[in-house]
Structures are given as structure tokens and as C-alpha cells.
Amino acid sequence: MDVLQQLKRMPVFADLPDAQLKDIYAITTERKYRKGSVIFLEGEQGEGFHYLQSGKVKIVKMTDDGREHIINILSPGDLFAEVLLFNNRAYPATAIAVDDSKVGVIKNSDLERLILGNNLLALQLIKALSQRLLFAQQKIKNLALHDVTARTAETLLRLG
């Protein structure tokens, strides 16, 4: 599939003209990960905004006793590590390739420069961050108000 078409399928980039998609691709570093590979570790210094081009990735937090708690399962087109946009912070969770995966990485400084000249991209990123905030709020509500059976059912409905 053509790279521009792949970017256009992603909700955050869908409404952008081809010229701006080319600008995004120009600042993207593509990385390939084998199944089971760690993309980044919780606590590592964040380098930028990630988007999944192909494969599947899980975002996890490790408990004190070493158990893995899955925060999210990502599919192609999904953004991750976007909480680091405009923040020079460490990754708040670990990302692991569930399948062989290809990930686009855009350094925060490069994306910020691109956003300064592109109101539509800025708006799309705000929408994506808003969606992520809603997801987090639903997850908090789910954890606080539902039992294990209800939480499992809600997760299965969301993934299915």
C-alpha cells in the first residue's frame, strides 16, 4: 500500500492534503519490530509520537510483583506515546509488539515545527488527544464502578 494512502487511513491524518501527508512522512522514522520485541520501556526518556503502521502492539504497566497489566491493544492506524507531545518526559508505560509490527516515530521537535505551520494538523492532534482522554476516563470509571465480569465484557466489546 502506498505510504500516503496508509497515512490517510489514520483518523488523525485523514483530512490532511497530500502535501501535508508528505511532510509528515518526511519527518517519520520507520521501525520494524519482531513479535515480542519491546518498542520502549516505561521510564525511558520519551523520544516522540508513535503510530502503528502494521501489526499489533500492546501497552502495558508492570505491577510491583512483576505481573503485566494491559492498558491497551493497538491496531494499525492507532497512535501511541502521544501523551509525550509537548512534554519532555519519560514513557509512562511499556510498548511491546504482539505481532511483527511496523511503527512510525516522529520526534516531538519535528512535529511541533510542522504543527506551527499547519492549523488542520494541530486540530486533528487535539481531537486525537481528546479521544485518548475520554478513553482514559472511561477506563477509570470502569475500574472504579464495575466488577471483573463487567470490566471483561466491556473490554471484549471494545476490542471486538
| Residue-level pLDDT, tens digit, the chain, 160 residues | 577 788 888 877 888 888 888 988 999 999 999 999 999 999 999 988 899 999 999 999 988 888 898 988 999 988 898 877 777 888 999 999 999 999 999 998 898 888 888 887 787 778 877 777 787 677 777 767 667 777 677 767 766 6
| pTM exceeding the 0.85 threshold for the entire prediction | no
User: Which residues have C-beta within 8 Å of that of residue 75, sequence separation ≥ 6?
Assistant: 52, 56
Q: Domains in the chain, start-ordered, CATH in brackets?
A: 3-159 (2.60.120.10)
| Bridge partners of residue 49, in order along the sequence | 106
> Distance of CA 9 to CAs 84, 86, 94, 149, 159, Å?
23, 24, 26, 34, 19
**Cell numbers found for residue 90:** 519519560
The C-alpha atoms of residue 125 and residue 68 are separated, in whole angstroms, by 29
